[in-house]
Amino acid sequence: MAHPSQINILFTSIGRRVALLRHFQKTLQSLGVQGKILGVDITKDAPAVHVVDKAFIICRIDDPRYLDTLLDICRSEQVAMLIPLIDTDLLLLSRNRQRFANIGTTAVISDPALVEIALNKFKTHDFFVSCGIDTPRVFDMQKAQSDTSLPYPLFMKPLDGNASKGIVKIRNHDELCFFQQYVPRPLLQEYVEGTEYTLDIFYDFSGIPRCVVPRKRIEVRSGEVSKAVIIKHPVVLEHGWRVAQALKGCQGCINVQCFLTESGSVRFVEINPRFGGGAPLSIYAGADFPHWLVQLYRHEDPGDVRDHFRDRVYMLRYDDAVFVEGEI
């Protein structure tokens, strides 16, 4: 089958995702593929706006014009692949994949049913339980107020939150009553202690998992990992592959989060059907998701990439800047 002559890739909500976008730029160059890395955001002062080959300043995701705006860009720029980078537009884009396909754009997004599970913490919990995957208990918020037997401490988090926003450790009944007033749509969850891992999982366009990369979190800033290390922990990998195979309807790179406890159990807490903020670490370690995505789009199989990454590779992030002269 003939390879596409040009591959333009559009990313939504590019914000600060400079490292990831540069990896995609390098991928096109290394493969000798003609194409551009495009991005959209709502503001000109987003750093990645000044890194992509062409940027578009568009309306917010909750604006009724958002979907048609993306379709217009995909049509005019002959976009081959559309890749979302935050949770907010995942469901909208997933439900409208066929509209993008009709104009020749492959929206690299998981199925709506999977996205709905991922975006709702109750549904995430129920999914893990239904698959026999260890996950922290959740408690009914109304009953909790009068339950004197709750195993404090507990976690309280927004039902549909992301980037660790609004997560609170609840130590007693007074804190439960207090924070319930401030955490939007609160979910009460068993508190888990252990080493936190994010697993980058790469799926082909048929929904088959091809690679699972465990990143041990060392430090987090503003909800995004700032220090991490690749650890090929056999127990984490074993359970990670089990979760990867249980998830249906995935495409491209997603990530799941879990805790490895002192007792050796692996407890899963979240599913994020998009590139994680720490994905550049996995890519640098050899799990070249951008390369594999472009290969798949060109109808090439990446081959056996199950163990295609190095162990004990660290990512130590620091402050950097994009400098722009004149008006932006």
Give me the CATH number covering residue 274.
3.30.470.20
Strand arrangement of the beta sheet that strand 8-12 belongs to: 54-57, 37-41, 8-12, 79-84, 106-107
The whole-number pLDDT of residue 147 equals: 81
Same domain, 142 and 102: no
Same domain, 165 and 199: no
What is the signed CA dihedral for 264, 269, 272, 277, rounded to 10 degrees? -60
The whole-number pLDDT of residue 236 equals: 98
The whole-number pLDDT of residue 3 equals: 63
Residue 207, judged by CB atoms within 10 A of its CB (0-12, 13-18, 19+), counts as middle
Q: What pLDDT digit, counting tens, does each position of 243-288 carry?
A: 999 999 999 999 999 999 999 999 999 999 999 999 999 999 999 9
CA atoms 50, 42, 89, 119: torsion sign: positive
Containing H/E element for 127? helix 121-130
In a domain, 181, yes or no: yes
Same domain, 81 and 103: yes
**Beta pairing partners, 4:** none
The whole-number pLDDT of residue 166 equals: 67
Q: CB within 8 A of 267, min separation 6: which ones?
A: 134, 135, 136, 192, 194, 258, 259, 261
Domain boundary among 109, 128, 146: 109
Residue 181 maps to which CATH number? 3.30.1490.20
Same domain, 63 and 159: no
The whole-number pLDDT of residue 328 equals: 83
Same domain, 181 and 207: no
Domain boundary among 147, 173, 190: 190
Same domain, 277 and 255: yes
The whole-number pLDDT of residue 146 equals: 79
Closest by CA to 202, choosing from 87, 304, 117, is: 304
DSSP string computed for 165-234: TT-EEE-SHHHHHHHTTTSSSEEEEE---SEEEEEEEEE-TTS-EEEEEEEEEEEEETTEEEEEEE---H
In a domain, 41, yes or no: yes
Task: Give the range of the structural domain holding residue 13, as residue numbers without chain letter.
Answer: 8-109
pLDDT mean across residues, the chain: 94
CA 231 to CA 240: how far, in whole Å? 13
Same domain, 104 and 22: yes
Which contacts (CB < 8 Å, 24+ apart) does range 234-238 have? 235/260, 235/264, 235/266, 236/197, 236/199, 236/260, 236/266, 237/212
In a domain, 249, yes or no: yes
In a domain, 132, yes or no: no
In a domain, 327, yes or no: no
- 21 and 37 Cβ atoms separated by less than 8 Å: yes
The whole-number pLDDT of residue 71 equals: 98
CA 17 to CA 35: how far, in whole Å? 19
Percent of the chain with pLDDT over 70: 97
Same domain, 158 and 175: yes
- 109 and 84 Cβ atoms separated by less than 8 Å: yes
- The model carries a pTM of 0.94
Q: What pLDDT digit, counting tens, does each position of 45-91 carry?
A: 999 999 999 999 999 999 999 999 999 999 999 999 999 999 999 99
Positions of the chain with pLDDT under 70? 1-4, 161-166
In a domain, 75, yes or no: yes
Domain count, the chain: 3
Same domain, 48 and 92: yes
The whole-number pLDDT of residue 99 equals: 98
The whole-number pLDDT of residue 46 equals: 97
The whole-number pLDDT of residue 167 equals: 83
Same domain, 178 and 201: no
Same domain, 207 and 148: no
In a domain, 84, yes or no: yes
144, 226, 326 from 152: Cα distances, Å: 11, 29, 55
Within 10 angstroms of residue 296's Cβ, the number of other Cβ atoms is 22
DSSP string computed for 266-279: EEEEEEE-S--TTH
Same domain, 205 and 269: yes
The whole-number pLDDT of residue 5 equals: 74
Residue 47 maps to which CATH number? 3.40.50.20
The whole-number pLDDT of residue 323 equals: 93
In a domain, 127, yes or no: no
